[in-house]
Chain A
Amino acid sequence: MPVFATDQDVYATIGALFEWGSQDPELGPKIAASGLTIRFVYHEPESEITVDARAVPPEGRHFTVLCGPAGLTPDVTMEMNADVAHTFWFGHMNLLTALARGQMKAVGPIQSILKLLPAIKPAYKKYPEIARAHGLPGEE
């Protein structure tokens, strides 16, 4: 059974993680400095989140997070099952392995995503809190 029942569950957890990141004083500026627009397309359930570090962000945020179709042209699109994203944000999945096994698809200059990997490490600690608060299964 998929971890997420609806797209709203995805937005309330992974979307909330990105929202947290947009306000985090450590992670936020690093993503903002990339200037990238990254579109995350999820399946089961169908959903998508766009992280936009190109546009001027809302007050108090380093970048914009858009849940649902955003209509922006992304620099990079990452596509995966929502369950895979759940495992990834628990810090239990190596990006290279996930790409090698076809669990993720990356369209665009993958180097720009790889560059952000060290920056997103704090999110691995935050996501379990958010997921558990939403009643999602853990990945211990």
Chain B
Amino acid sequence: MEFSEFQVPTRVVAGRGLSTSIDIELQREGLTRGLLLTDAGVRPLADRVRRAAGSRVVGVYDAITPNSSVEQVEEAARLARELEADFLLAVGGGSVLDTAKAAALVFTEGGRLLDHQGVNVLARPLLPVAAVPTTAGTGSEVSIYAVVRDENTGTKVSFISEHLAPALAVLDPVLTLGLPPGLTAATGLDALTHALEAFLSVKAGPLSDALALAAARTVLRELPRAVVDGSNLEARWRMLTASCLAGMAFSWAMVGCVHAMAHACGGLREVPHGLANAILLPHGLEYNRPAAGDRFGILGEWMGADPVEAVRSLAERIALPTRLREVGVEEADLAALAELAMLDGSIYANPREATAEEIEAVLRAAL
């Protein structure tokens, strides 16, 4: 291990029904004028949180879509500026949370979002974000990344900085109770992918390892329960926790080729991120097996089976698609997807140094 670093800049509060008293947490952070960001699909949940926040929310932007765009980020930042907001309250899944983080960047630094690409570019704290996840998978409520789709190029653009981590994360499993089985399954596999790729990453460290292993074991045990019975609050609670732990782990350990390919699929074909990860995870793991050394064995011990078999078995149990062609990817896309994946920063933390040809072969195996 050459170097490892770990930090959780986000204050995490968690509890059943906690979002109904979010005003207390906002007050503790000194946040007084917020723009609420959400998407139309979870607007009823967001309205519930808004009521709890009371006069601390002064506006709502609910036009965020899955694989949210640069345009949406800039629109949200513009609205926040108009409202003289002193924080953003993000209520939703990964796209909403990432949009809020990127909008905070534009709000604070000005200019266009794509002007701020790079690493170590952000030198000061951004407009605070309070993140309230309504899915259990993204980990964005604690991560130092924001991923947004550039509609001009059909690619996912990643931003990375500890300043992008939300100031506050509110984990309330009640908000995930209504998540349909398919979304529960796909987002849960996203969390598992974060955990497994963080553990196998060349940037893995002892602290991220502990979080990743705990998250992986929890997802394997609890995700089927949450999918089969969405009203199982205990399973929902444990999944939300696992997602957060995995988010902390991959924030610093990074991810790998599965995410690089999933980002490519999201950029080119708008495949939902969790679904892309779910389909690609067993294939990416198999590809990395020769380079993973004894870490594959450690994963196997924690997961109670060979990692590839454990993931395949889980995906089968929760009835997720297992082929890229089921989610709109075609044979003709594979070369372009491989090329896009090779441009994704995640590929450089992969335990096996990948070539475009190898990645195309992995994608083909998953087709």
Binding site for B on A (CB under 8 A): 76, 94-97, 99-102, 104-112, 114-115, 117
Contact = CB atoms under 8 A, between A and B. Distances in A.
A120 B203 CA distance: 22
Contacts of B119: 99, 104-106, 110
B343 A106 contact: no
Contacts of B117: 107-110
A99 B120 contact: yes
- Majority secondary structure of chain B interface residues (helix, strand, loop or mixed): loop
Interface residues of B, number: 20
Contact of B2 (A97, A106, A111): A97
A73 B323 CA distance: 44
**Across chains A and B, which 9 residue pairs bring their CB atoms closest together, nearest first?**
A111-B343, A105-B120, A107-B118, A99-B119, A106-B119, A106-B118, A97-B3, A109-B117, A96-B348
Given A94-B2, A97-B3, A106 B120 contact: yes
Contacts of A111: 343-345
Contact of A112 (B203, B343, B347, B349): B343
A106 B121 contact: yes
A102 B163 CA distance: 14
B343 A114 contact: yes
Given A109-B118, A114-B348, 11 more contacts: A101-B3, A102-B120, A104-B119, A106-B119, A107-B118, A110-B345, A111-B343, A111-B344, A111-B345, A114-B347, A117-B348
B121 A114 contact: no
Which of A76, A105, A109: most chain B CB closer than 10 A? A109
Nearest to A97: B3
A104 B2 CA distance: 16
Nearest to A94: B2
B203 A105 contact: no
A90 B349 CA distance: 21
Contacts of B343: 111-112, 114-115
Nearest to B116: A107
Given A96-B349, A100-B3, A110 B342 contact: no
A107 B117 CA distance: 6
A104 to B, nearest CB: 7
Interface string B112-138: 001001111100000000000000000
A97 B349 CA distance: 10
A111 B343 CA distance: 5
B5 interface: yes
A106 B158 CA distance: 13
Contacts of B5: 100-101
Interface in B315-367: 342-345, 347-349
A114 B348 CA distance: 8
Interface string B138-165: 0000000000000000000100000000
